[in-house]
Amino acid sequence: MAINFRPFVFPAVLLGALEWWARTTGKGSDALAPPSAAVRAFGGALADGSLLAATGFTLGSAALGLLIGALGGLGLGTLLGLSRRAARLASLSVEVARPVPSVALIPLAMLVFGFGLRMEISVVAFACLWPMLVLTQAAVLQVEPRLLEVAHALQLSPLARFTKIVGPAIVPRLFVALRLCVAIALVVAVTVEIAANPHGMGYALIIAQQSLDPALMLAWLAWIGGVGFAINAAALALQRYVARRMGAEGAA
Amino acid sequence: MTRRFDWPGAAGSVAVLAGVVALWWAASHGGWVSRVFLPSPEATLDSLVEGLGAGGELLAFTGATVGRMALGWGLASALGVALGALIGSSAAARVWIAPTLEGIRPLPASAVMPLAMSIFGLSGSMVLAVVAFGAMWPVLLATVHGLAHVHPQLREVAQGLQLGRREVVFKIGLPNALPDILAGMRLSMTVSLIVSVVGEMVASQPGLGQAILLASRAFRASELFAGIVLLGAIGFVSNALLAVAEKKLLRWQHP
């Protein structure tokens, strides 16, 4: 079987055009550099360890924020899904807090936590909380009513009802929500670093720009894109794997 | 039959929100959380009233942010639909170009900001360009997807009527893709607001993003909270408006 090369032609042409432009008309530009120079800059960042350190910081804080936000959203969403009264009572508060853009909390997190890991985690957690809450609530509401009747007939306690009936029933949908939140967590983490936090990949990117090193800046930009692509692909694969294992529903 | 408005539910829901505000009040006045971080609700309200009233800056900042967001969103929607229609209606473009677009999509919009800064410099139009670029993807990919998944029978109808490519796009493809496009536009509205705020923070353009960053650096927590409240209100109102528009525009689909 021949490898399908067609998706790679267009980016290759673009990169070739940039290389040609940067070596002729755009020579000595402070804004753009040829891709070959970006590859060299990438090798430099890899060799001096800054690449791995920054990537580790961004991914670590994105993962921790995702963990906190997703667990909170999971708990609240299950509660609001199971109890109609709770959902009614909380609806206004949720609708008021949810549209606040996560980046609006960057200055607040800066004030409370200062720069560092905790401010980034808190903003990521806030960003992941709401989609997880809404999607969990929707997933619980779509649990087959007969399953809930079974739980009722068996007189299960609320805890047993969750761990034995509702929990397993919503797993495939939860992984759809998780994939969405993984993408959000990474975007928000990089955004926090670009806007304020002097750590991680986003900061490395903006510092490369401010020190007029376009080769390094392009290297970071491509690396952030590549990491984002790989993580999104992995999350999608996980979601599909879980959907297959748990039965086809929610596989779409 | 119209459903009766659920008064007890609404009252309870308002009561819970009031409870949250009361907790905020208690936390601030009781000294559980330092006033440096958490201003009292009434101080926030004062800052809001002062900022939005005559001589206040917040009104102008809000206008600047809303304008940036709306203009960027409009550009993103127009570009997304146009490019999406071009790519989605051509099988060759879908094979050669669409994978590249799918590959760029996970790139955070704010990560493009440094590149735009080095090309265009620190300006309002740079921020606008990044907003439009970042918010374009949901619309673009939704349009491509909607055009690529036209029902085979509609395709046959188009062939039977011997419609040209342009007619297929305008009479069948785009109306068919409209639900996807509108869902994409809703997502891109959220992205526009976020990227506008980040752009104002990073490039020091006037707007709420810059205002809350400066308020935080100067430890003026009540102004910071007022800005956050306003940004939440912008998000809420824009989303609600779009939901209404979506319902109106899609009415023909459910006769």
ipTM of this complex: 0.86
In a domain? residue A22: no
Q: In this complex, is the C-beta atom of A217 within 8 Å of any C-beta atom belonging to chain B?
A: yes
In a domain? residue B20: no
Angle at A118 between CA A115 and CA A122, to 5 degrees: 115
Please give the radius of gyration of chain B, using alpha carbons only, rounded to the nearest integer.
23
Instruction: Give pTM, 2 decimals.
Output: 0.88
The string over A183-195, giving b where at least 16 C-beta atoms fall within 10 Å of a residue's C-beta and e elsewhere, is: bbbbbbbbbbbbb
Domain that holds residue B85: 41-253
The whole-number average pLDDT for the span B209-219 is: 91
Whether B241 and B190 have beta carbons less than 8 Å apart is answered as: no
Does residue A71 surpass a pLDDT of 70?
Answer: yes
- CATH code of residue B140: 1.10.3720.10
Query: Residue A209 has which token pair?
Result: 């720009």
Q: What is the pLDDT of residue B173?
A: 81
In a domain? residue A1: no
Of A7, A11, A228, the CB nearest to B107: A228
In a domain? residue B2: no
- CATH code of residue A225: 1.10.3720.10
- From chain B, the residues in CB contact with A104 under 8 A are 197, 208-209, 212, 227-228, 231-232
Query: What whole-number distance in Å separates Cα of residue B70 and Cα of residue B131?
Result: 10
Q: Structurally, how many domains does chain B consist of?
A: 1
What phi-psi label fits residue A212: left (phi over 0), alpha (psi between -120 and 50 degrees) or beta? left
Query: What whole-number distance in Å separates Cα of residue B76 and Cα of residue A107?
Result: 27
Q: Structurally, how many domains does chain A consist of?
A: 1
| Residue B246 CB neighbour total at 10 angstroms | 16
| Residue A40 CB neighbour total at 10 angstroms | 15
Band the pLDDT of B255: cuts 50, 70, 90: low
In a domain? residue A218: yes
Query: What whole-number distance in Å separates Cα of residue A113 and Cα of residue A119?
Result: 5
Query: What whole-number distance in Å separates Cα of residue B51 and Cα of residue B40?
Result: 16
In a domain? residue A95: yes
In a domain? residue B221: yes
- From chain B, the residues in CB contact with A95 under 8 A are 236
Per-residue pLDDT of A199-229, as tens digits, reads 999 999 999 998 888 899 999 999 999 999 9
In a domain? residue B237: yes
Interface probe, candidates B33, B83, B100, B191, chain A, greatest A C-beta count within 10 A: B100
In a domain? residue A7: no
Query: What whole-number distance in Å separates Cα of residue B84 and Cα of residue B212?
Result: 36
In a domain? residue B31: no
DSSP H helical ranges for A32-98: 35-47, 50-82, 84-97
Length of chain B: 255
Band the pLDDT of B226: cuts 50, 70, 90: very high
Domain that holds residue A64: 33-245
Per-residue pLDDT of A110-135, as tens digits, reads 988 989 899 999 999 999 999 999 99
| Separation of first and last alpha carbons in chain A | 28
Whether B211 and B29 have beta carbons less than 8 Å apart is answered as: no
Shortest distance between the Cα of B60 and any Cα of chain A, in A, equals 18
In a domain? residue B137: yes
